[in-house]
Structure 1
Amino acid sequence: MLFLPELLKDWPCTVFGGEFRINVNGVSECSSRVQEGFIFVARKGGRMDGLEHIKEAIENGAVAIVVDRATLQVDSINVPIIQVPNCQKFLAYASAQFANNPSKRLTMIAVTGTNGKTTVTHLIGQLLQKLGIQAAVIGTTGCWIDGVKVEADIPEMTSLPAEFLHPLLATCEQRGVSHIILEASSIGLASGRLDACDLDIGILLNIGLDHYEEHGGKQAYIEAKKQLISMVNTMIVNEEDPLCMQMIEGATVPITYFGEHKIADKIAPNLNIPFPGYYNRLNLFAAMSALILLGYRIEELIPHIASLRLPEGRLQRLERDGVTVYIDYAHTPDALQAVLQTLCGVCYGKLITVFGCGGERDKGKRKEMGELAVYYSSNVFVTSDNPRNEDPSAIIADILVGFGGDCSAIEVVPNRKNAIRQAIFSAAPGDIVLIAGKGHEKTQHTAEGIFPFSDFDEAKQALTEKTYIDIKDLNKG
């Protein structure tokens, strides 16, 4: 509980009407989450306007309303109206205050980049755990403390809204966690979800094609990522990504670089890295760089490298009767190319790819992902990903443009379950099936609703049902 004037004393605002000298218990931008004694932040979002939900918020117990526009008619509202310059920033500030600012006492590491955020955060968490440090990883796959997923009332988002994030940080602190590693998405940075976090280390992995349309273009996307540089005490940057190097020009915080030569030449040449691929090596080096910046020596890290594991849905492997299936979250051109290149290097038979593209997301990447899939794969099954409210056939049509006309190696199977089954049933011993795009996800978003769906479970079932006919037996017949 906080005294409202005390909460607002350091925040620029103007207060209209209602009783101002009151105690408040919490803050939310969602009217349905408002409880007795809460402040309701009536923020204007991309699809909804909080002003339309003030009545519901007051009915649920809101004792004050925060706005950042002067268009609100206050005559009919009997609680104080607090006008601030920016609702998003106020929400982050107030959320931190109500949680007693846990980020000030925790060691906070934020990882951004188009690809690899989940992998790098989990690798850092694993390394810290092996070194006896209690750490929490927060991001796309939820919240994990010491490698165990925590059941928490939080949305499935890469970067949590501030009203969820700060209470979760407080919970982690209460459970003895000292280090937090979190994913910082471009949307999360642009919308101010991390504004009130005291961040110690930031990591910039790469910049690729994703979320351009949501930000209004490539440069706006880059500027959103770039915000992290001004929010941290020190940065770790991929020296092998030209855009990353451009982004840090003029940075006023200390910069540490990672890449093949920054760490590779300092470790044993026969180091056993337990997962394949150039980009996973870079992800590992980014994670090791964070540990080195925290004061650990490379010699302390090397004994633990072989036991590291990729997170769920990242090159997650299944195998039966000589057929190998990989489930991977690759949903951008860069990520898809990286995983296809990696699997080409270990595939001795056919490489069969199952993928689609998400609806209501960047349409520009669909054609490019189609081109990459057919270039690297022997066969491609084009299917639905999370079409959301977009017509799945229109998404598939955009992908097919990348194939450049008729191609016998391409098969369109809109139903994702059927596409996975057909791909696996078509595979012979020595073949690899890649199921790309959804990775760890347990649901599929369609215009009809959100339904349970797991690529891993569907692949496992298909492998179980797959049968092989011995050619010798056929010949005998």
Structure 2
Amino acid sequence: MSIQICSGKGRGLLLLSELLKDWPCQVFGGIHTEVKGVSEHSTRISEGYLFIARKGGKTDGICYVEEAIEKGACGIVIDRNAAMAMTDEMSIPLIVVPDCRKFISYASARLAGNPSELLTIVAVTGTNGKTTVTHLTSQLLQMANVKTAVIGTTGVFIDGHQAVTSYPEMTTLPPEHFHQLLKDLVDAGVTHVLLEASSMGLATSRLAHCNIDIGVFLNIGIDHYEEHGGKQQYLDSKKILAYQAKTLIANSEDEICKQMVADAKVPVHYFDYGTVCGEQINEERININLPGRHNRMNAFAALAVLRVLGYELADILPLSQSLQLPEGRLQSLQQDGITVYVDYAHTPDALENVLQALAGECSGKLITVFGCGGDRDHGKRPKMGEVASTYSTEVIITSDNPRSENPTQIIEEVLQGIRMKENVRVQVDRKSAIYEAIALAKSGDVVLIAGKGHEKTQYTKEGVFPFSDYEVAAEAFQYR
């Protein structure tokens, strides 16, 4: 079952003067014009839109001002010194603001009618587990007859059913899409939104004007260091959530999570393995049928959210036995006594958690197929190799999403961390690697295909191609 969301219906309309009255800015030109929308992409500009000429990592929005004007832009927003040189050439208002990213967040929320104020929003951050926790929390709320939506890596879900939208596929949407989506969800009768707050989404102010009721800190590991410019910048981006949310929940087993909320000015609640918001859960009361300690920790995080929302543990604990993992999280196939798991684990911590869980239930060999993504996180590649070779009987290193990089070079970096090379082989082609692993397996063996999980495409320097680990594994069983 899928649900259609009509993106962009009922978009707001404000006078430019009204939109700017509460925002620090300098305006060159008239301000009595109607604004229908904002965008930082000239391709999305139409009549009555403000074009945010932001300087990006690869291109500068100033280069697209002429195109935006030709498409009907009603004003240009900029946050750099180039503004003075542009004033004489402008036929429409030029607005100079301190920070384009924060302005587009503010303007998007205003034009959508500040929909986050009409919703209960739970934002979940962490290196691993964001998707799982948002979906588990949604499931618990649905069982309590609450209409929920999940926004994150796997898309938009309303009451557990994936919604068909025209919004980009991103963990944390840019504000011009995000606030309009929230308005769509309000119109659809949703009351509670479970949101993945990625480090990049927080760092780039995508959630700056979102009314966040509960912020959840799951764990902090190795990921996205290079994209942020270093480890401390990555940690600083995560900590932004501690200043935005009205209430915080943190994993007390993770020291960095505890540090991030230590100086919070809002209420802070904690969870760990067997404790939810200060309430101990006896072993006989725990009936969470999810594989792996890390997934049971994810369930405790979800229970903590409901506890903070006012639900009694006695009422919600019985519901936890019905929890199910989302697509691509230890998703399994079985045939001939062989079990194949497809999992999104793409960090050293996540891969170790999954392998530890599978090693405990594997009566035969544990065969792992994995790779590392290109254009990011070189530092984690040898660590991924070390983890895989430590816990697996056999390892096949392959391509993940190499993007613009040479997959062979990525594999070479992974191999630098390998301890026991005799149980490791290389197969660059991911489909062939999956076929090879399943051909090697015998009854009682477990095969883990890690890294891409729910993804349906593979990004390479030749382009983007359809690819599903789950579907390829199902095909491979047919050819055994």
Distance 1:267 1:440 in 2: 34
For 1:348 and 1:276, the matched residues in 2 are separated by 16
Q: Choose from 358, 377, 394 the match for 1:343.
A: 358
The size of the alignment, in residue pairs, is 464
Residue deviations 1:167-219 (CA, integer Å, cap 9, x gap): 10000000100001100000000000000100000000000000011111111
Counterpart pick for 2:287 among 253, 272, 276:
272
1:28-54 CA deviation, whole Å, 9 max, x = no partner?
111101111100111111112111111
Equivalences for residues 27-66 of structure 1 within 5 A: 27-66=38-77
Q: Does 1:394 align with 2:406?
A: no
- 1:472 aligned residue: none
Unaligned runs of 5+ in 2: 1-12
Task: Tell me whether 255-264 or 113-122 shows the greater mean CA deviation.
Answer: 255-264
Q: Secondary structure at the match of 1:402?
A: coil
Residues 1:180 and 2:193 are matched in the alignment: yes
Q: Retained in 2: the 8 A contact 1:384–1:415?
A: yes
Among 427, 440, 456, the alignment partner of 2:470 is 456
The reply to whether residue 366 of structure 1 matches residue 378 of structure 2 is no
User: Which residue in the other structure is 2:316 paired with?
Assistant: 301
TM-score computed with the length of structure 1 as normaliser: 0.96
1:357 partnered with 2:372:
yes
Q: Conserved in 2, the CA contact under 8 Å of 1:267 and 1:298? A: no
Deviation at 1:270, TM superposition (A): 5.3
User: What is the TM-score when the length of structure 2 is the normalising length?
Assistant: 0.95
Shift of 1:465: 2.1
Deviation at residue 20 of structure 1 after TM alignment:
2.3
SS at match of 1:433: strand
> Is residue 248–residue 261 contact of structure 2 (8 Å, CA) maintained in 1?
no
**Identity score, percent:** 55
For 2:313 and 2:123, the matched residues in 1 are separated by: 21
Q: Structure 2 matches for 1:146-295, cutoff 5 A? A: 146-263=159-276, 265-267=280-282, 269=284, 271-295=286-310
Are 2:156 and 1:139 aligned? no
Rounded Cα–Cα distance in structure 1 between residues aligned with 2:90 and 2:473:
55
**1-structure distance, mates of 2:342, 2:110:** 41
CA drift of 1:303 comes to: 2.3
CA distance in 2, matches of 1:84, 1:457: 49
Decide whether the 8 Å contact of 2:37 with 2:50 is kept in 1: yes
SS in 2 for 1:159: coil
State how far apart, in whole Å, the 1-side matches of 2:403 and 2:48 are: 36
The superposition leaves residues 290-317 of structure 1 with CA deviations (integer Å, 9 ceiling, x where unpaired) of 0010010111112221211101100001
Three-state SS of the structure 1 residue aligned to 2:477 is: helix
Q: 1:318 maps to what in 2?
A: 333
Determine the C-alpha separation between the residues in 1 that align with 2:69 and 2:166.
23
Give the partner amino acid of 2:26. T
Counterpart residue type for residue 330 of structure 2: L
Q: Is the 8 A contact 2:330 2:343 kept in 1?
A: yes
Q: Residues 90-146 of structure 1, C-alpha deviation per residue, up to 9 Å, x if partnerless?
A: 000000011100101100100000000000000011111111000000000010000
Distance in 2 (alpha carbons) for counterparts of 1:151 and 1:30 = 22
2-structure distance, mates of 1:266, 1:354: 37
Q: What residue number does 1:433 align with?
A: 447
